[in-house]
Structure 1
Amino acid sequence: MAGTHPADPITDAFESHRDRLRAVAYRMLGSHADAEDVVQEAWLRLSRQDTDTIDNLGGWLTTVVGRISLDVLRSGRTRPEVSYDDQLPEFTVTLDDAPAPEDLAALGDSVGLALLTVLDSLRPDERLAFVLHDVFAVPFAEIGTILGKSADATKMTASRARRKMRAAQQPTSAGRQQREVAQAFLTAARDGRFEQLMQVLHPEVKFTVHTPNGTFVTLGASEVATRARVAGSAARGHAAIVNGRPGVISWNEDGTPLSLLVFTVADGHITEITAVVDPAKLALMDLPDAV
């Protein structure tokens, strides 16, 4: 029968909030797939709800997504069907042409995985309070209904999270040092200088390479230095910031991504390197265009 189904206005209203809800869940959980699951669960709960009892649909949905995300964090569900070594991390990649905003207050909706890495150090209630209030401007009273706390107690939780976040942020000088160490590795790898490679690699460095034939892990400075020529082509790529860490991206002549390298640097030494040279995986990433 022609005509509009009664549920259509609610469906349209939900769709108008979907992007924001997905962003809330993603910043809570750090996984696009888990965020989609949470948003879908929120839709199912809305479909079972008498919408006449909802005064503010956006606020109601944000509360539901926050509560579901909190349950996921507390239960430790992290898609166990995928082992850690086989799972390619989700990368946020920007070209290293200008410094990223350092001030947490300026993050807004642009917050990415660099922040998610630090958020992992927070307790679930701290993470929820920080994300909802500082990133999405949800009032403390509404966050308190999710946590089962008063507005004042929730404000204290967010303040504690904020202090932890600021303490975990690395100063800009450390970021520059990390990039210098990564560049030293790339230069030594390109020139085949084994001794210089050994100087910048941590003795227990882990090198993970994602290839079309699978994921391969090499452990130890000597082994990694020996295989460092895999970085040869990437050494001529463009410096990038990947999840807040130094990296290098290179492209094929046709502009498609060729490789992505990511470095973890601590105390002046590289402790971990991730290389992605699998065209299929690179194609799925939201990578910058060739320069």
Structure 2
Amino acid sequence: MDSAAVERFEAGRDRLASLAYRLLGSAADAEDAVQDTFLRWQAADRERIEVPEAWLTKVLTNLCLDRLRSAQARHERAAGDWLPEPLLEGDPMLGPADTVEQRESVSLAVLALLERLSPVERAVYVLREAFSYRHAEIAGILGITESASQQHAHRARVRISAERRRGGETDPASARRVVEEFLAAATSGRTERLVALLTDDATAVSDGAGLGKRLLRYETRERVASFVRAGFKPTPAKRRLAGGSPAMHIALVNGSPAVLAVVGERVVGAVVFDVGDGKVAALRGVAAAERLARLNKAWRQHEPGAPVIDAW
């Protein structure tokens, strides 16, 4: 393959990766899908491809749909051990963030909700809301009618809007203050203050550091507060598991405030918050090393501010 063909593909790599990430919810799977698309591009009769961007988008999208439909993916996601892979702010895989729809489409909350859609509904929603494709273009990419694309988009929007749990819009500075107060309450044992900072229907999900096969789920603010208090209580066993006494940083992950536990230059855990109207509506805890691989790579290239807790 000549250098011009390689350069043309590389010019669109970040866009393809951000599309694949939204479709799959996994940075590792997204990277694999982009590489498979490159191999298809390499083998194609490129002189007959009139619009390379459209061709690459169609190939990538359908490769992602094949992954979502595979027996292994259906089993893993149905078994309850799937959680979106968190990405640090600034990661090119997060893609476009010019509109509210684009920013929300990459939040962990919406990525989790996308799991409840059919693969085609998910693809239509992402192509329309995050990448502003027209329904005629989506129909061509997915091999469906324009009317079907419109119907899939409507059903997806209705379902996500109905299940999206959020309060009023919160600016980043206010959200950070809520998370700082929440972290202070969690590490000091002030369970009553934790309860007060949670919405009535707060939820929490954790991968349990990858030690079990199923995700841990908690509902009601009392149970969430108890879980958080237990999780943030330092013990020698937790420090051994983390490889030391972590520093606690607050950062943006998938557009939301998050607490990162860092040992040396390694992120050993991340808790991502949904904040609205001055309260926490949901938390997602990730500590399995494979789910933090890309975030860790970005963190090593990041210049963090001072930790909010020097040693936990």
Q: TM-score range by the shorter chain?
A: 0.5 to 0.7
Q: Kindly tell me: are residues 218 and 184 of structure 1, through their superposed partners in 2, closer, same or farther at Cα, counting changes over 3 Å?
A: farther
Aligned length: 273
**C-alpha distance in structure 2 between counterparts of 1:88 and 1:111, whole Å:** 13
Contact 1:249-1:257 within 8 A present in 2 as well: no
Q: Kindly tell me: are residues 157 and 7 of structure 1, through their superposed partners in 2, closer, same or farther at Cα, counting changes over 3 Å?
A: same
Task: Please say if 1:191 is aligned against 2:188.
Answer: yes
**C-alpha distance in structure 1 between counterparts of 2:23 and 2:128, whole Å:** 12
**C-alpha distance in structure 1 between counterparts of 2:37 and 2:124, whole Å:** 19
Q: Kindly tell me: are residues 12 and 241 of structure 1, through their superposed partners in 2, closer, same or farther at Cα, counting changes over 3 Å?
A: closer
Tell me what 1:144 maps to: 139
CA RMSD of aligned residues (A): 4.9
Q: Deviations over 1:62-81 (max 9, x none)?
A: 11111111111122544989
Corresponding residue SS for 1:55: coil
Tell me what 1:230 maps to: 234
**C-alpha distance in structure 1 between counterparts of 2:110 and 2:39, whole Å:** 30
Question: Which one has a bigger Cα radius of gyration?
Answer: 1
Q: Kindly tell me: are residues 271 and 103 of structure 1, through their superposed partners in 2, closer, same or farther at Cα, counting changes over 3 Å?
A: closer
Q: Which residue of 271, 274, 277 corresponds with 2:285?
A: 274
Tell me what 1:262 maps to: 271
Tell me what 2:166 maps to: 171
Contact 2:165-2:281 within 8 A present in 1 as well: no
Unaligned runs of 5+ in 1: 1-5, 96-100
Contact 2:114-2:122 within 8 A present in 1 as well: yes
Contact 1:18-1:39 within 8 A present in 2 as well: yes
Corresponding residue SS for 1:172: coil
Q: With structure 2 as the length reference, what TM-score do the two structures score?
A: 0.62
Tell me what 1:56 maps to: 51
Identity among equivalent pairs (%):
32
Contact 1:218-1:224 within 8 A present in 2 as well: no
Task: Please say if 1:68 is aligned against 2:79.
Answer: no
Deviation, 1:124, is 0.8
Tell me what 1:3 maps to: none
Contact 1:249-1:260 within 8 A present in 2 as well: yes
**C-alpha distance in structure 2 between counterparts of 1:181 and 1:23, whole Å:** 29
Contact 2:257-2:272 within 8 A present in 1 as well: yes
Q: With structure 1 as the length reference, what TM-score do the two structures score?
A: 0.66
Return the letter of the residue paired with 1:229: K
Return the letter of the residue paired with 2:260: I
Alignment of structure 1 residues 145-164 onto 2, 5 Å:
145-164=140-159
Return the letter of the residue paired with 1:107: R
Contact 1:119-1:165 within 8 A present in 2 as well: yes
Q: Kindly tell me: are residues 180 and 218 of structure 1, through their superposed partners in 2, closer, same or farther at Cα, counting changes over 3 Å?
A: farther
Q: Kindly tell me: are residues 276 and 64 of structure 1, through their superposed partners in 2, closer, same or farther at Cα, counting changes over 3 Å?
A: closer
Q: Kindly tell me: are residues 190 and 49 of structure 1, through their superposed partners in 2, closer, same or farther at Cα, counting changes over 3 Å?
A: closer
Unaligned runs of 5+ in 2: 91-96, 240-244, 306-312
Tell me what 1:290 maps to: 304
Q: Kindly tell me: are residues 175 and 77 of structure 1, through their superposed partners in 2, closer, same or farther at Cα, counting changes over 3 Å?
A: farther
Tell me what 2:34 maps to: 39
Q: Deviations over 1:246-284 (max 9, x none)?
A: 6323667x8x46764416789x99987736498x96972
Deviation, 1:36, is 1.9
